[in-house]
Every structure is written in structure tokens, then in C-alpha cells.
Amino acid sequence: MLHLPKSPTRQEVLRFISDSASYGNLGAFIGAGFSKAVLNDEFNEIALSWGELLEKASVKLEVDYDAIWKTGVSYPEIASSICKLHAEQTECDYAQALSRLKREIAALTSWYPDKEKREEFSKYLECLSPSWIITTNYDMVIESLLTGRSIPLGPNDSLSSPNGVIPVFHLHGLRTNPEEIIISQEDYVSLFRPSEYRQIKLALTIRESTTLLIGYGLGDVNVLTALDWSKNVFKGGEATYPNDAIQLLRKDNPNEKPYRDKNGIVIVETEDIAEFFEEFIDVREKELEDKKKEQKALTDLAGQLDEPDGAMIEKFIDDDKFRLEILNVLSKFSIHLISGFVSFLNKCIDETWARSEPQGAFEGYNQNLIIILDILTSFPINRFPPALFQTAAYGLQRVGYFVGNDGGKSWSAKKTWDNRKNELSMEVVAELKSIADQHGYNYVKRLVKTINV
């Protein structure tokens, strides 16, 4: 499944997140609500919201927070107002006031989860297994949970990391580098310039991924801006990979069934973030077990294809059901199996030629042609392994001489060709014509001329 349906079930959403993690393109967009879930409980309110941070910082700067007009005003504008008041009161310039505010914000976000919370939420993030994390948080709670498995990146860093290490891109800056913190109106003006690397990279990353949003409100401007860019600035063809946006929304009385909001985001409600992750772990562990069994089956099949015995070769030739089952698996897992299968296919084709050696043994040519046609009809051209297509085209050229109703030809092969030639897609026929022109496959040219396209 490349996209969730319009009205997915909860299990479908959980499986889709797991499938994306297995594919390797699951990303997490994490906000302040996540830090609160990790750090806060009924006794302690350690992690603060953006508004709470500004209020506490204004106290540190001896600015009357209540005197600032806040109705209908954004937090960056409030931050700028704090700096202006502080500059007036201390007779410093605005840049100095802004620098002081950023240092206070850095000090106020010195948050570290205790051992119990760290173990709990580390398990959740490790099970989620995101390829990347983007956060608007200044704190390093995420890095505390992914010790040794993540690297913190600031807004001026490239979104990249060593193999096996999760990049945690702090879109609004890191508390360890206060001067890079994005908090005031002026900071945001530069942040949302269309040519900014971070904005372009953010949109591309979301477009190429399944994005799980954790700890944000439905109307968060950071989320909506990123999603708008990913959908409307970088337009392309239909995705061939898992791709959707899913938002985890904490509510006191959550809906069991997910739904899409007006922006097309899949909303999954939960009373507690930890409860959602426990749900996900159940689904993920089952899928990983199924993947393990699937991988073993593929490994076993790859081994059989690499060193097939005579019985397997004969079964592939003579048993239509077995052959189509193998080709069906190959079409789904060609990356894992194609190398061994091409070698195996050549051995099967060689066997059909050996069967055709006795005088009057024309059925071997027919078996040869059936195998080639089964292969040519098993893949759309855009997913046809090139080496396999060339092998099939060359095989068609070799057997093509014997397809006919004249003396010395295989009448059964001619009947098979006439009955099945129109099963070939227009794209496959066009590619057969091209390869025939390039390599001088005259018998392929003769055969495809008889196809009505």
C-alpha cells in the first residue's frame, strides 16, 4: 500500500507506519507536545510550551509580560516585543536584547528525562525506527532518548548523517547554540525565504517520506507550511513508495477511528502518546516477525535458484502453477532474487532445447516459448529487470525460428503464440521492437509484426 485510503482504520494506519519504517522512508516531525509527554507528569511541569517559555524568559529579562499585547499576535511577534521592551529598559540595542532572550531560552530548555522515562520512550522511538527526525524544539530530549543512535543538527546544518545514525534536524535551532535559535519575528522572516535550504529540504524530505507528526496542534503553522510546500511546490508523478502524512493528536476523549482533516492529513487521536506507542509496538513486532519469516523464505528460494536440482528445473518447465508462483514472487521481490533467477532461467531454457534435440520433438520449443511469454507478461515495463528482459528477448529470438506451421516448425508453439501474443502490453511490444532493431533480432521482429497494437 503506497497511500492510506480516504477513511483508514486504526490498524491500517499502524500497519502503514510500520510498512514505511520497513521501507526506510518513515520520518517523524516532533513538536513541544512530545517533550511534555516525556518530561511532565501530575507532579512536575518541566517541559514548557512556547508561550510558557516566553513568559518565563521575560521574567528573567525583567520585562512585564502582562503588559505585552498578545490577542491575535503570534509568538514570534511576542518575542520581538519582549526584546524591544528589554532594549528600552536597559538602553541596549535590539540585537543585544534578542541575543539575551535567546540565551535565556537556551537555559530554560535544559531538560533531561529521568532514567525511567528515558528507558520507556527510548523503546518507543527505537521501535518506530524513523529514518529522520525534524523538530521545532530547542531541547535535546530526542537525543537523550536515542543516545548513540542520533546526531543533532542545527538550522544551518545539512540534513544528513552517517549510515545507521538518525539525523535530528532542529528547524528552529538548538539550545547548545543560542545564537542560531529562531524565535523572533525577524528570525522567521529569514526562515521562510523561498530560497532557504532548510525550507526546500524540508518540503522534499516530507514529499519523499511517510511523515508522522507528534506533539503538534492541528493548526500549527510549521506543519501546515511544510506540508503545503511538499504538495504544491515540488509536484511530480504518482509516488512509487509509501507516502502520507499522519498526525498523532492527544485528546481527553479520543475517537477510535482515524479521519482526514481539511488538509488531507490522517488524524489519529489518543489519550496518551505512550498508549499509542504501545499499540504500535504490538503491530510492529508482529510485522517484524512476519518479515523475518518472509526473508527466510526468500533466502531459501534464492539458494534454490542459485543451485537448482534437476527436479526443480523440470517442475518450472512442466508445472504451470509452480512457474507462475515463482514469477509472482519474483515480481514482488526482484531486487532480492533477480540475479539467481536469470541463471536459473537459462538452465530451464537449456533443458527445453535439450528436449527438442530428438527427431520430431517439437514440444520442447513450445515449452520454451511458454516460459518466455510468462516472463514477458509478469512485469510492467517500468519495473522489468533489464537483465531479465534481455534474456527473454534473446530467448524469443532463438525460439522464434521454430514458431510456425511450415515443415520443421513447431505447430504447437505457433498456436501458443497466436493465442497469447496479445497478452503482451504495448510497452513490452515497443521495447521488443527496439531491442530487435538494436541487436538484429529478425525472428523477434517477425513475431511482433503479427501483434495487433
Terminal CA-to-CA distance of the chain, rounded, Å? 31
Whose grid coordinates read 528477448?
A: 393
List, for residues 216-230, the tens digit of each pLDDT value: 876 666 666 767 777
The pLDDT-based confidence of 235 (bands split at 50, 70, 90) is low
| pLDDT the model gives residue 160 | 82
* CATH H-level, domain 10-41+111-287: superfamily: TPP-binding domain (3.40.50.1220)
Neighbours of 159 (CB within 10 A): 17
Q: What does the pLDDT average to over 150-163?
A: 87
pLDDT band at 237 (very low <50, low <70, confident <90, very high): low
Whether 232 contacts 207, CB under 8 Å: no
Which pLDDT score is estimated for 207?
Answer: 84
Annotated domain spans of the chain: 10-41+111-287, 50-109, 307-449
**pLDDT, tens digit, for every residue of 378-399?**
988 988 999 999 999 999 999 9
pLDDT tens digits for range 167-179: 999 988 999 999 9
Residues 153/171, Cβ–Cβ less than 8 Å = no
Inter-residue contact 282 to 46 (CB < 8 Å): no
What's the pLDDT at 19?
A: 94
| The pLDDT value given to residue 238 | 67
For the record, the C-alpha cell of 174 comes out as 538548538
Bridge partners for 450 per DSSP: none
Interval 189-212: pLDDT, tens: 766 555 566 667 777 888 889 999
Dihedral, CA of residue 417, residue 420, residue 424 and residue 426, to nearest 10: 90
Q: Which residue has the higher pLDDT, 230 or 326?
A: 326
Q: What angle do CA 315, 321, 325 make, to 5 degrees?
A: 95
Record the pTM. 0.80
Euclidean distance between CA atoms 102 and 96, whole angstroms: 10
